[in-house]
Structure 1
């Protein structure tokens, strides 16, 4: 499973003459350099696309953590009319493929004047049914007497949520944060639909166009793929 990854990184450091050799050259330490990365980063413009992807992914991750935690807390610890029905409806949306809602979602973004904007990438992913489900299930395991004791001591609901519940939910928040970041970083279909301007491209879109334009420049393609892969590896290992 690691073989394609090893080849990608090795090829990204070699000149094209070494990459296209037959039989293939897996390792050529004497030929390694960062020239491919510098060319992709500056001349091709991956720096702008990297920033776009980073901004979108980080913003979506923060918003998903906030909205999912708040909704999960409400469903787990408050009794209000229709709570279970609403929660079941939220769960049911997880079974709807994105392809079913992408046209209505595009129309909604157009009416909000968010088409071809960076926020058009962010707003539809601010909250997810999976995030609400994950946080609700985790918060259900927090002992209710702990929260009742805080209320008896005069703690407000925002204080209980921020100072008691959230610290206890760090494992769930970490897992949700990883899923949210990876999902938004790798997202290809929605940016392809909503973004028209090249300056707003994210890395998946840029990589697709780059592969078409530089189809014979395998070493540059591998450098671009490596740049796109590094943040995923960092988040996963963190």
Structure 2
């Protein structure tokens, strides 16, 4: 039998370590102060690893999960700092929910956005930006196809998203934000970035603004059809 190559760490010892404690349960996605059960550490492939077993204190959940901490020791033999927090495992993904009008306009947007979100939450930062960019294009194009059904094939087959925005988005402020969202999205598809001071959070904020615009347009269309004339 092989000797064990890990060391069990009790709750008291973990409490004394300056580890980053996760503040969200990966199962129920509520903010929590998790209960520390125990932990262990081990060295593997030039990494010092610590695993801490936490429990969600919410009565509706009570699931246990690992806090994952890791540190490369190959070139840091004199560095006495603790491993850094990497994330939690297992992870139960919670989909982003959208309003009924958005779901009706573009099911593809909802699906692609949630795939990008899942990639982001799993730290796949090299691909999630491209996913958000694709989600934005489907959202805008699907909405414009509803607005201009006679132009549907042209909108679908135009691979220049910026040209579609320029031709079919009439509101100048909306055109302004859509262009910038497209620029940031393109940054995640190319080898070099033009907007190095912007990141995924900026792209998501612009998508959120586009959602507000489309939702507002749909609300206006509804009341224009329902309340065509004033009542006396």
Q: TM-score range by the shorter chain?
A: under 0.3
With normalisation by structure 1, the TM-score equals: 0.21
Q: TM-score, normalised by structure 2?
A: 0.21
| Structure with a larger share of its residues in helix | 1
The structure with more radius of gyration: 2
Using CA pairs under 8 Å that are at least 6 residues apart, name the structure with larger relative contact order, 1 or 2: 1
